Structure 1
Amino acid sequence: MELGIATVDDTDPAITALTGELDIASAPKLEDHLRDLIDAGCTRLIVDLSDLSFCDSTGIGTLVRANNERLSRGGYLRLAAPNRHVARVLAVVGLLDAFPTYRSVDAARHADVAGLVVVRL
């Protein structure tokens, strides 16, 4: 399944919604998109994972690099609404500890600690 990327950048933070699969074949597309956003000055970003069905290590690396780039520019990247399979992958690789992942876009927008994703391994 192909990766779909849709961004609403007229809000602060901007919101990028992903659909489909984020893997070795599609990660470069996302990396380019996220780089274009940062080049345009978008340093605060929420990535909506609600319709992302799969994420491999290449996709995870893309998200980590995007987070690091935003942090270095005084911004942030927050993940929102992963399904339970994607949330488990994020937990296993330690991303839930690396940067905030929220149960909803709204919780991510407000940095609602009560809305953080918690996965018991």
Structure 2
Amino acid sequence: MSSPMEIREITGEHEKAAVLAMSGDLDLLAAPELYQRGAHAVEERHNLILDLSAVTFCDSSGFNALIRLRRRAEEAGGRLVLAAPPEQVVRLLALSGAQVLFPTTETLDEARARVAAPSPG
């Protein structure tokens, strides 16, 4: 049975990145909302952190939304960081070869520090 996705913004006032925390399944039903909310956040802050610690499942639609948001952040001069992705998402990134595209951190605090640091290169 599918677990409905909840997305909430937890961005601090002085943060360099918008922060969206998700829980539930990142699937065909949830991916459009994630993309829409993420794209709006990128327009405002350029950098986006997705806290995936409570995501229970990610299918190809969710993966596609992540790829599109990464491109959107780069086009805005920012970056997308995945915080605390569950093992299933880590495996999906590795199997697809996309782990090199997504900076990931073990915690949300590490993701915030990573975005605050100057971009490499």
Interval of TM-score (by shorter of Structure 1 and Structure 2): 0.7 to 0.9
1:8 and 2:15 equivalent? no
- Any residues of structure 2 matched to 1:79-94 within 5 Å, and which? 79-94=82-97
Residues 17-55 of structure 1: CA deviation (Å, up to 9, x unaligned) = 11000011211111111122233x221111000000000
| Correspondence for 1:71 | 74
Deviation at 1:82, TM superposition (A): 1.2
Structure 1 residue 28 and structure 2 residue 19: aligned? no
Matched, 1:50 2:53: yes
| Displacement over 3 Å in runs of 4+ | none
Q: For 1:36 and 1:4, how far apart are their aligned partners in 2?
A: 17
Q: Describe the superposition over 1:68-100 as per-residue Cα deviations: whole angstroms up to 9, x where unpaired.
A: 111111101100101222211121112211121
RMSD: 1.6
SS at match of 1:111: helix
CA–CA separation in structure 2 for the residues paired with 1:72 and 1:32: 16
Q: Quick one: distance in 2 between partners of 1:46 and 1:69?
A: 13
* Count of residues in correspondence between the two structures: 111
TM-score by length of 2: 0.83
Q: Quick one: distance in 1 between partners of 2:35 and 2:92? A: 19
TM-score normalized by structure 1?
0.83
SS at structure 2 position matched to 1:61: helix
Query: 1:96 & 1:102 partners in 2: Cα distance?
Result: 12
Moved more, 92-101 or 65-74: 92-101
Gaps of 5+ in 1: 113-121
Give the % identical residues: 35
Q: Which ranges in structure 2 are unaligned for 5 or more consecutive residues? A: 116-121
